[in-house]
Amino acid sequence: MPTYTCWSRRIGISRESKERIAESITDAHHELAGTPHHLIQVLFAEVEPDSHFIGGVAAPDNQVWIRADNPATEEFRDALLQRITAEVALILAVPVTRVWVSITVEEGRR
């Protein structure tokens, strides 16, 4: 079951934005991999402002990190990374540099 976790500082991502992000990720995964919608889950987690650091300094308020626990080929990963990054940045009205997406590449499928 593909699982995506969206981490952010407590920046107040609205329920509507979370729904749009979940729908966007689900649609992207479904369209690129053919996985049925009902098997794709998206979780949201928030961290306290003093608990997220990048390069040893506090992360920006609008930083979002999405991790996919879903082994993938490099080709699938790259297409998904680009699509999720662009769509989440658009939904949250943040620069694409503030949306980091990490997807595992399965050994032997590179």
pLDDT tens figures, 44-58:
999 988 898 999 998
Residue 89: pLDDT over 80: yes
Task: Give pTM, 2 decimals.
Answer: 0.90
Given this model, what pLDDT does residue 106 score?
64
**Strand, coil or helix: 2:** coil
Residue 102: pLDDT over 80: yes
- Other Cβ atoms within 10 Å of 93 Cβ, number: 8
Q: CA torsion angle for 103, 31, 24, 69 (degrees, to 10)?
A: -20
pLDDT above 90 covers what percent of the chain? 67
- Residue 91 phi/psi, 5-degree rounding, is -60, -40
